[in-house]
């Protein structure tokens, strides 16, 4: 096994409550990663799950299942395991637009923090659920959309995208709920610029290194952990993307 395949036991040094359902866990080890790459986070006695890095020494987590619920009980001084980084990251060129929804902002935040994003569209259900908005405003041209209109544009991120000329951007990096990303991909396809889109996908993963096949996508058998998690729009436009995915049992959902 190579070094990144082995878990590194890290100690949590700080827990930041970003929103009522999202926390950032800072730990005492630095990892060399490319924005968009992920790690496998081991919660002792519970499970191991994929997470995007939100910094070289941090992950930002939404409480959505057993493993994340267990993470939310941890505090400073507790330990978790980190394997990675894995997969490919974003590879933008030229003028860059980033679009993030919900916890999908995490890998895009690191891209913006590295100075690689010209315009950033950030979306959430409500103002209370916006993550990294203040930090993003300091490093990029930030545009905000909330479903309930409590901050910024009243509606979805696609509404702001419709107000822009997407063809002015050489690269469009996207991460968020799959149906949100599908709405963006449809717009890029309509303009004939789907190759400019780079979409970070989430699938159920067990190994994280392309061996088990649990994250394979129809129809080409692409492994999200190894061939992704970032794919260009032309690769996924005719795939299972936004149609179905597979759960722990391997059944389509």
| Cis-peptide, bond into residue 163, ω within 30° of zero | no
State the chain's maximal CA–CA distance in angstroms.
51
Contact between 95 and 25 under an 8 Å Cβ cutoff? The reply is no
Residues with Cβ within 8 Å of residue 243, at least 6 apart in sequence: none
Does 173 appear as a known binding residue? no
Bridge partners (DSSP) of residue 97 are 119, 172
Q: What SS3 class is residue 167?
A: helix
Query: Cα torsion at 92, 188, 85, 224 (round to 10°)?
Result: -150
- Rounded Cα gap, residues 138 and 148, in angstroms: 25
Q: Which helix (H) or strand (E) holds 146?
A: strand 141-146
Contact between 201 and 228 under an 8 Å Cβ cutoff? The reply is yes
Does 175 appear as a known binding residue? no
Q: Report residue 20 as tokens.
A: 């009522």
119: left (phi over 0), alpha (psi -120 to 50) or beta: beta
Edge-to-edge strand order for the sheet containing 171-175?
Answer: 153-154, 141-146, 119-124, 96-101, 171-175, 197-200, 230-232
Binding residues for [2Fe-2S] cluster: 207, 212, 215, 225
Binding residues: 207, 212, 215, 225
């Amino acid at each position: 096994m190579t070094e990144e395949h082995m878990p590194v036991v890290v100690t949590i040094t700080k827990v930041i409550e970003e929103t009522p359902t999202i926390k950032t866990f800072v730990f005492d080890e630095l990892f060399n990663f490319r924005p968009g790459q992920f790690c496998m986070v081991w919660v002792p006695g519970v499970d191991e799950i994929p997470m995007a890095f939100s910094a070289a020494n941090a992950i930002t987590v939404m409480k959505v299942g057993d493993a994340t619920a267990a993470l939310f009980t941890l505090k400073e001084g507790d330990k978790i395991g980190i394997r990675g980084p894995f997969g490919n990251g974003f590879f933008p060129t030229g003028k860059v637009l980033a679009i993030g929804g919900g916890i999908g902002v995490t890998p895009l935040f690191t891209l913006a923090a590295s100075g690689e994003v010209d315009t950033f569209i950030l979306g959430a259900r409500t103002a209370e659920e916006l993550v990294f908005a203040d930090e993003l405003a300091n490093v990029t041209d930030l545009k905000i959309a909330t479903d309930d209109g409590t901050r910024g544009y009243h509606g979805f991120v696609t509404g702001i995208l419709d107000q822009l000329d997407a063809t002015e951007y050489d690269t469009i990096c996207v991460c968020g709920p799959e149906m949100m990303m599908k709405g963006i991909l449809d717009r890029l396809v309509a303009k004939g610029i789907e190759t400019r889109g780079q979409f970070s996908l989430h699938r159920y993963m067990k190994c994280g290194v392309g061996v088990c096949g649990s994250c394979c996508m129809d129809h080409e058998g692409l492994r999200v952990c190894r061939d992704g998690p970032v794919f260009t729009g032309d690769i996924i436009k005719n795939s299972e993307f936004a149609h179905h995915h597979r759960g722990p049992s391997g059944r389509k959902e």
